[in-house]
Structure 1
Amino acid sequence: MAVTRADVARLAGTSPALVSYVLNDGPRRVAPATRARIEAAIAELGYRPNVSARSLRMNRGHALGMVIPDGANPFFAELSAAIEAAAFERGYPLFVGNAAGDEARERAYVQTFIDRRVEGLLAISSSWGAGIAEACEEAEMVLVALDRVIDPARCAHVLCDSVAGARIAVDHLIGHGHRRIGCLSGPHVSTAEDRVRGYREALAAAGIAEGPVVRTDFGGAAGYLALSRLLDDPHPPTAIFVTSDLQAMGMLRAAYDAGLRVPGDLAVVAFDGIEYARYTRPGLSTMTQPTQRMGQAAVELLLAQIDSGTPQPGVIRLAARLTARGSCGCPDEF
């Protein structure tokens, strides 16, 4: 297996960015002692830079780009912050473009980052999907997709295992004795589809009939309006699995306005684990995504591809964990 810049950085006890500064003689100064450690590690490992990849990178700006679907959504803000911190630790500034759910805007940001020749791109697609992978492939720019599937045959992905996480959430509601469980899904993106799939698998495994499934946007207003649709059923659910925390927070307000007790009349478990979920009343039970690990893994994978000059298509899935609070009937300790 070829020695990479990351291998040199580990042996020298420094970052891949500092190794790059030594190899390229800039753009930042490296302390003499650190430079000596890096040069010794290069010699010990026999590291040889990929000449063609290095030549291509020398024509690129020393920065990373990221496209997100909705800058107002706290989950995307938290994930962006984790990625920015991981990139900063490695000496890379991160430029973020907010697509705001608009495909034309998403395309424009991707093209802007390509035109500005950032070293690599991270993307959570709102609608364009595989088009991002095609554009980056044509521009010979490495790409890592997050949260939503873009094109596993063309680019690397770092995702939360939404199917398994949804199963855990629904199993938890079943464990509280619920047999009529509905689902509030998001729009037609892979994340929402996977969570609905996990919901259905958990019910099927328990021999429980599927409850009403309503599809909306991922926002709080959509969650508020969806509650009446979910309860407008001959056998209304006593519990609801919600595919995003923002939707669930809107639903909790709708339940309060309708005079429903949560969890007495209606239990709720959501998905994302955003910071604000702990401040609802009752506290929102949710499947917490490992945003810090996702950010670290995505940046490491992107920089490894930049270093090698070789794409690494495929999917890495990380597990979510249940954060149980009062909305499902667990102790509501703040």
Structure 2
Amino acid sequence: MRFVLPSSHSTHGVCGRPGQLLHSVCWKCIEPDTTGCFGCGLFLLSQCEGSSLNFGVRWQKITIVGVGLLGGSIGLAVRKNRLARHVVGFVRREASIADCRQTGAVSHATLDIEEAVSGADLVVLCTPIGQMRSLAEQFVHVLKPGAVVTDVGSVKLPVVRQLEPLIANAGAHFVGSHPMAGSEKAGVHAARADLFNCAVCVITPTARSHKPAVRQLEQFWHAIGARTIKLDPAKHDALVGFSSHLPHVVAAALARRVLDPARPKEQALLCAEGFKDTTRVASSSPEMWSDIAVANKRNLARAIDMFIAELRAFRFALDREDARALTKFFDTAKSRRDAWCAARQTTTGR
């Protein structure tokens, strides 16, 4: 992406590249389709590790429905960057209110979903996918006219189909989101204000989406550090079926099989860093991933079938002791991953 300095604008702190902070400049994007521009024409590059942005108050009230790892991280980032006067969290348990207070993830937490959502300019659903519709039905009647509602779910098509008309009938606007950031850890105590720094956030507008609402949502994710791309909900689900959902299934299968108590007791002692890295995401929430698997079952099944075919091809070469085919298998994997890592380093610094 190329940037030029405009002739005059008020100053902002802007991150030029990971780890570098440029002060007192505004950048004007001359390739707006790359990651999107603000409605005012200014493009403030997303914050990366080592940077600090101060966008100023843009929303009066942001509500986070479900203050766990992602919801808590959003709250911390919003408060750190002073993007809203009020950051309210809806939680289900009294103990969670104390957790929110302790971590500072929101300025106010409540068990009353109507109180949480009433008057909010932006509502972010951070609950399991299967709970989103029922929760939306509980607060839709108190939505502020023109409010923007989004989510952080890992599957988009069923969520968009359920929530877009429901929210539209209340005079508000739903646009789906999926920040490609997270951790195998859960709960607000695992939340981090920098979780979204330089992460890709997929926004999934439809033909019915309110364009100003889409732009507001892009601004929001940029303001807490993410880089945004737009995808059709169905295309998003097909792609994450391979890149996110399949790896979770593979990690879980490895952990189940290799760490089965029926295996020799020495087995676990021979699991080193490679096994730990490969199976890290198997420690994620079982309930959440069961929910995701069912919601994206068709795409996940297709990804599993293709993965099994890959393993069968490897097994065929192994049975034949075909060293050339086996070397090609590993060489192709290495070159593709190395290229991906290099591109990721260039764009994110990680």
TM-score, normalised with respect to structure 2: 0.31
Which structure ranks higher in relative contact order (CA pairs < 8 Å, sequence separation ≥ 6)? 1
TM-score, normalised with respect to structure 1: 0.32
